[in-house]
Amino acid sequence: MKLKSTTFTLAACSLSLSGSLFAASLEVDVKDAHGNGVADAAIYLESLTGTLPARPRPAEIEQKSRKFMPLMTVIQTGSEIAFPNNDTVRHHVYSFSPAKPFELKLYSGTPGSPVLFDKPGTVVIGCNIHDRMVAYIQVVNTPYFGKTNDTGRVRITDLPAGKYRLKAWHPQLLLGATMPESEISIVKQDVAVSIALNPATDSKPH
Ligand SMILES: [Cu+2]
């Protein structure tokens, strides 16, 4: 009886220790060629040393004023996204992206079931009726991700110690821009990193 209760206390103790001592946060700044902050960049960390926990969380991309909001969504593989239509016009949401081809035929209100994103990759979505509507989903194999705010900054918290590959994605990459990847080690200190969004090199003659 006594032994059992001691074991339980020890286990609880080691859990809280690993949580407080070895978790750090990473702050990432994304800048363009002029040094301005870049909003809506997906930033995520893949482990180089082990398997990361699966923590799929539901997300929502609404349609309002004939726009998708938000423009950029980052989710872990296995998460579901709902696509509520909050306009008075009907929308027809679709994607041809290999990571998740799907179609929500002309509808108003909220479709009955959300869409499951079960493969990592970039998913570009559009509306069949309104050509200018576009949104981006970056599906990542890690629970450690975020997207940059209006000043180009994002903070990823509760990172366990380990070695990671820091990856970044932004819609401009579809137009030929590039963002470097890097390796970072999380030990016991918070880390700050700056990433450059390099513009597409224009090979066309002017
Ligand atoms: Cu539409």
Please report, for the domain that includes residue 45, its CATH number: 2.60.40.10
User: What distance in angstroms lies between residue 43's CA and the mean position of ligand 1's atoms?
Assistant: 28
**End position of a domain, from candidates 115, 141, 167:** 141
**The pairing of beta strand 134-140 with beta strand 191-196:** unpaired
The residue segments making up the domain with residue 186 are 22-50+146-200
Q: Is residue 21 very low, low, confident or very high in pLDDT (cuts 50, 70, 90)?
A: low
User: What distance in angstroms lies between residue 84's CA and the mean position of ligand 1's atoms?
Assistant: 12
pLDDT tens, 103-158? 999 999 988 899 999 999 999 999 999 999 999 999 999 999 999 999 999 999 99
68 plus 113 within the same structural domain:
yes
User: What distance in angstroms lies between residue 67's CA and the mean position of ligand 1's atoms?
Assistant: 8
User: What distance in angstroms lies between residue 159's CA and the mean position of ligand 1's atoms?
Assistant: 39
User: What distance in angstroms lies between residue 130's CA and the mean position of ligand 1's atoms?
Assistant: 4
Global pTM reads 0.87
Task: Give the whole-number percent of the chain exceeding pLDDT 90.
Answer: 82
Residue 13 belongs to a domain: no
**End position of a domain, from candidates 141, 160, 187:** 141
Q: Is residue 20 very low, low, confident or very high in pLDDT (cuts 50, 70, 90)?
A: very low
- Tell me, rounded to whole angstroms, the distance of Cα 189 from its chain centroid: 23
What are the residues facing 91 on neighbouring strands?
107
Residue 7 belongs to a domain: no
**Site of tokens 């499951």:** 116
**Of 74, 73, 80, nearest in space to 56 by CA:** 80
pLDDT at 143: 97
193 plus 129 within the same structural domain:
no
The residue type found at 150 is: D
Domain count, the chain: 2
Name the token pair of 160: 């366990």
